[in-house]
Amino acid sequence: MERIKTDLLVIGAGSGGLSVAAGASQMGARVVLLEGHEMGGDCLNYGCVPSKALLASAKAANARRDARLGVAVQAPQVDFAAVKDHVAAVIAQIAPVDSQDRFEGLGVRVIREYGHFVSRTEVQAGAHLIAARRIVIATGSTPFIPPIPGLDSVPYLTNETLFALRERPEHLLIVGGGPIGLEMAQAHVRLGYKVTVIEADRALGREDREAAALVLDHLRAEGVEIAEETAAAQIRGQAGAIEVVSAEGRIFAGTHLLVAVGRKASTDRLNLEVAGVETTRTGIRVDASLRTSNRRVYAIGDVAGGLQFTHVAGYQAGVILRSTLFGLPSKARTDHIPRATYTDPELAQIGLTEAEARKEHGDRVEVARFDYLHNDRAIAERRTEGFIKVMVVRGRPVGVTIVGHQAGEHVNLWSLVLANNLKMSQVAAMVSPYPTIGEINKRAAGAYFSPRLFENQTVKRVVGLVQRWLP
């Protein structure tokens, strides 16, 4: 058994763990990184990267919009195996950034084994026993498999197996109407396959209702069947002929089944009880500093049971580094964390939705809105579906909803605004190049100030007086 002493032990080489390991090592700490599976974690291998690559292929196949621009396009010929080759090539191109070689080049000791606690400060990984001053758990999450009768007797896909599928899914059944389910639904229907989404509650139920409705209407118009408030009560059949039976007895038949109902924290291998690390129903219990019930152990990313986004894990890595390397007080926030669903149109949210803002702030909330329909670039490109809503309290945004073309890009500005507690006046002072879709952000700020300037009788009286006295 090799005994290793280190300043920092990171368990898990996903986005959060890699960020911690790279930052700590480059700032002079001794770092050991454990990973028993794929370097890069879920995001690189089974999540963000392959899903966006698949969506890019689907976008290329969706030529119907070009007809609105006066361009006749023949029906695309989709080679599904070649599409999957494209997905694999994208992963391979990005993989070196997350590779073992790169991190060893940064001075990190990388051990390709799963780890488990053997004491409050020690972790065993294969033939290695690591004693660390500080330990960061960044083991991520895995697909949650619901206890639906019959599911264990039929072949099904999750995000961990979907992107390796090379046979054509002639009719894809998707259990789960969240962002992952709907992104994959649109991707596959655009590639030419039938898709049915079965959702027990409301699809995109966490999102602003009006924004979600716009997305769902577009997906249905493209041919995705979406059955909401329809719980899957039984699954039966065999490969190539699968049926999902709802609680009401409705039968959905397809060739392939994708389960996309959420994720669960990956804690099973860790032996957390020995370390004195407490867990909750959603993951490891952490405080605002991301510290667990064992003060030497931290948890970040999906395993910490909070927001499950790659960018959250990266942000939390910075919080951890300030605390573990410099001993500085450092707390994680969530009010400035954006999220995006990469359907077409996209849906992005940061801070509070309108309903959440009204519940929390009551009559103090003002909603500034601007529609894509009035954006000249959107008109030129025939991408006028969508809007931006900014929820404002006493001149400062507390939430922003954007649905429409490139919404995930445009929410970046509002992440800056909320992170720095900026005012709407500072957004209004921005100058956007014309014509860009991004002008919607400035125009939303204009919509907030317009009533104050153009409908205010006091302003009009002052202007009138000034005009009489000006030479």
Residue 273 is labelled as binding a ligand: no
Whether residue 302 is annotated as binding a ligand: the answer is: yes
- Measure the CA–CA gap between 420 and 414, rounded to whole angstroms: 10
Report d(CA 181, CA 380) in Å as an integer.
Answer: 31
For residue 292, say whether it is annotated as part of any ligand binding site.
Answer: no
Tell whether 182 is in a known binding site: yes
Ligand-binding site membership of 262 (annotated): yes
423 labelled ligand-binding:
no
Residue 177 in marked binding region = yes
Q: Is 4 annotated as a binding residue?
A: no
Let me know: does 171 contact 194? Beta carbons within 8 Å. yes
Amino acid identity at 376? D
CA atoms within 13 A on the CB side of 323: 25
Q: How many other C-beta atoms can be found within 10 angstroms of the C-beta atom of residue 334? A: 10
Q: Is 113 annotated as a binding residue?
A: no
199 annotated to bind ligand: yes
Phi, psi of 220 (to 5 degrees): -65, -40
Residue of 346, 297, 324 whose CA lies nearest to 121: 297
**What is the distance of C-alpha 200 from the center of its chain?**
21
Scanning 127-178, the segments in alpha helix (DSSP H) are 159-162
Is-cis flag, bond preceding 435, omega within 30? yes
Is 12 flagged in the annotation as binding? no
Please tell me whether 180 is known to bind a ligand.
yes
Place of tokens 């690390």: 277
| Residue 176 annotated in ligand binding | yes
Q: Is 327 annotated as a binding residue?
A: no
Binding residues for NAD(+): 176-183, 199, 262
Binding residues for FAD: 52, 115, 139-141, 302
Binding residues: 52, 115, 139-141, 176-183, 199, 262, 302
